[in-house]
Amino acid sequence: MPNALRTATPMADWRTFRFTSSGNKDGIKDANAAGTSYLYLIEDTVGALLESVDSGEVGVLCYHAEKILVPMIVGQHFHVGERVYFDQTTRRVKPHYDSADFWIGIATEPAGTSDEFVEIDLNGNHAEIETNLP
């Protein structure tokens, strides 16, 4: 499994915010150990949770980072420049839009159907469900 913290962006360029957790949430290390996703939707922003938090605790969500590895739905594949959508059910990303998915960035490296992670530019915009596809 690749190191999910690998990123081409220095940590100083990451954008984060603090939030009070409404439930237990796994950060990158614990999520990788459990085989789950560390991507969360907090209000209307999707990001990577760096450290695990329990309900009522303050957590830090990274909502903007260039070239960060994120968990993808196995069986999908990404091409460079392809839009990346956050699936709320699996909390993983996929390249194809569905009515409940959020567009959160673009793929910066290709990923095959057997890959567990894809490198993306997590753009930090508010996650929005698209009403009209380009």
> Per-residue pLDDT tens for 105-128?
999 999 999 999 999 999 877 766
> What does pTM read for this prediction?
0.84
Q: Cβ of 58: how many Cβ atoms within 10 Å? A: 9
| CB distance 120 to 108 below 8 Å | yes
The pair of three-digit structure tokens given for residue 45, joined into one six-digit string: 């922003």
Whether residue 70 contacts residue 120, with contact meaning beta carbons closer than 8 Å, is answered with yes
Quick: pLDDT tens for 10-62: 555 788 999 999 999 999 999 999 999 999 999 989 999 999 999 999 999 99
